[in-house]
Amino acid sequence: MNIEHYEFGKVIIDGISYFSDVIIFPDRVENDWWREEGHELHVSDILEIVEAKPKVLIVGTGAYGMLRVLPEVEKYLRENNIQLIAELTGRAVEIYNQTSDKSKVICALHLTC
Protein backbone atom coordinates (compact mmCIF):
# COMPACT_ATOMS: atom_id res chain seq x y z
CA MET A 1 0.00 0.00 0.00
CA ASN A 2 1.18 3.48 -0.81
CA ILE A 3 -0.29 6.77 0.33
CA GLU A 4 -0.12 8.93 -2.77
CA HIS A 5 -1.56 12.13 -1.33
CA TYR A 6 -2.92 13.56 1.90
CA GLU A 7 -4.70 16.83 2.49
CA PHE A 8 -7.18 17.94 5.14
CA GLY A 9 -10.16 15.57 4.86
CA LYS A 10 -8.80 13.43 2.00
CA VAL A 11 -6.23 10.71 1.43
CA ILE A 12 -5.40 8.79 -1.74
CA ILE A 13 -4.17 5.23 -1.19
CA ASP A 14 -3.18 3.14 -4.20
CA GLY A 15 -5.27 5.33 -6.50
CA ILE A 16 -8.43 5.31 -4.37
CA SER A 17 -9.65 8.48 -2.64
CA TYR A 18 -10.97 8.30 0.93
CA PHE A 19 -12.78 11.13 2.67
CA SER A 20 -13.09 9.70 6.18
CA ASP A 21 -10.63 8.32 8.70
CA VAL A 22 -8.93 5.08 7.62
CA ILE A 23 -6.89 2.18 8.93
CA ILE A 24 -4.33 0.83 6.49
CA PHE A 25 -3.62 -2.85 7.10
CA PRO A 26 -0.93 -4.64 5.06
CA ASP A 27 -3.62 -6.21 2.84
CA ARG A 28 -6.56 -3.78 2.92
CA VAL A 29 -7.87 -0.35 3.84
CA GLU A 30 -10.66 -0.01 6.37
CA ASN A 31 -12.65 3.09 5.50
CA ASP A 32 -14.88 5.06 7.90
CA TRP A 33 -12.79 4.37 11.00
CA TRP A 34 -14.94 5.50 13.92
CA ARG A 35 -13.72 5.80 17.47
CA GLU A 36 -15.53 5.61 20.80
CA GLU A 37 -14.90 9.35 21.16
CA GLY A 38 -13.99 11.29 18.05
CA HIS A 39 -10.83 12.96 19.32
CA GLU A 40 -9.60 10.42 21.87
CA LEU A 41 -8.08 7.07 20.98
CA HIS A 42 -9.28 4.36 23.38
CA VAL A 43 -8.18 0.73 23.69
CA SER A 44 -11.56 -0.34 22.27
CA ASP A 45 -10.73 1.60 19.10
CA ILE A 46 -7.63 -0.48 18.35
CA LEU A 47 -8.68 -4.04 19.22
CA GLU A 48 -8.81 -5.10 15.56
CA ILE A 49 -5.40 -3.55 15.01
CA VAL A 50 -3.83 -5.37 17.98
CA GLU A 51 -5.46 -8.62 16.85
CA ALA A 52 -3.56 -8.28 13.54
CA LYS A 53 -0.28 -8.32 15.55
CA PRO A 54 1.69 -5.55 13.84
CA LYS A 55 5.15 -4.62 15.07
CA VAL A 56 4.38 -0.92 14.57
CA LEU A 57 1.23 1.19 14.72
CA ILE A 58 1.49 4.62 13.12
CA VAL A 59 -1.29 6.96 14.21
CA GLY A 60 -2.00 10.17 12.33
CA THR A 61 -3.42 12.48 14.97
CA GLY A 62 -4.97 14.92 12.49
CA ALA A 63 -3.76 17.95 10.59
CA TYR A 64 -3.56 19.89 13.86
CA GLY A 65 -3.05 16.97 16.26
CA MET A 66 -6.53 16.96 17.76
CA LEU A 67 -6.71 13.15 18.13
CA ARG A 68 -5.30 12.34 21.54
CA VAL A 69 -3.80 8.90 22.18
CA LEU A 70 -4.79 8.04 25.74
CA PRO A 71 -2.13 6.72 28.17
CA GLU A 72 -3.99 3.40 28.53
CA VAL A 73 -3.64 2.90 24.76
CA GLU A 74 0.11 3.46 24.97
CA LYS A 75 0.30 0.98 27.85
CA TYR A 76 -1.85 -1.61 26.03
CA LEU A 77 0.31 -1.37 22.92
CA ARG A 78 3.51 -1.77 24.99
CA GLU A 79 2.01 -4.85 26.69
CA ASN A 80 1.35 -6.29 23.24
CA ASN A 81 4.88 -5.47 21.97
CA ILE A 82 3.62 -2.95 19.42
CA GLN A 83 5.65 0.20 18.85
CA LEU A 84 3.50 3.34 18.69
CA ILE A 85 4.36 6.26 16.46
CA ALA A 86 1.85 9.09 16.89
CA GLU A 87 2.39 12.17 14.74
CA LEU A 88 0.43 14.83 12.91
CA THR A 89 -1.22 13.09 9.97
CA GLY A 90 1.02 14.68 7.34
CA ARG A 91 4.12 13.45 9.17
CA ALA A 92 2.53 10.03 9.84
CA VAL A 93 1.98 9.66 6.08
CA GLU A 94 5.65 10.46 5.43
CA ILE A 95 6.80 7.92 8.02
CA TYR A 96 4.48 5.24 6.62
CA ASN A 97 5.62 5.85 3.04
CA GLN A 98 9.28 5.70 4.08
CA THR A 99 8.78 2.29 5.71
CA SER A 100 10.39 -0.29 3.44
CA ASP A 101 8.64 -3.38 4.88
CA LYS A 102 5.00 -2.60 5.54
CA SER A 103 4.04 -6.23 6.22
CA LYS A 104 4.06 -5.65 10.00
CA VAL A 105 2.96 -2.00 10.02
CA ILE A 106 -0.56 -0.65 10.42
CA CYS A 107 -1.36 3.01 9.88
CA ALA A 108 -4.48 4.65 11.36
CA LEU A 109 -5.19 8.15 10.07
CA HIS A 110 -7.44 10.90 11.37
CA LEU A 111 -7.89 13.02 8.24
CA THR A 112 -9.25 16.27 9.61
CA CYS A 113 -8.49 18.36 12.67
24 vs 3: CA distance, rounded Å: 9
* CA 78 from centre of chain: 16
Give the SS3 label for residue 105.
Answer: strand
pLDDT at 72: 98
Give the SS3 label for residue 53.
Answer: coil
Number of domains the chain is built from: 1
**pLDDT digits over 56-88, tens only?**
999 999 999 999 999 999 999 999 999 999 999
**pLDDT digits over 4-30, tens only?**
999 999 999 999 999 999 999 999 999
Q: Which structural domain, as residue segments, surrounds residue 70?
A: 3-109
Q: Which of 80, 113, 112, 107 is nearest to 26 (CA)?
A: 107
72 vs 51: CA distance, rounded Å: 17
Quote the pTM value.
Answer: 0.97
What's the CATH code of the domain at 48? 3.40.1230.10
Q: Is the confidence at residue 38, as pLDDT, over 90?
A: no
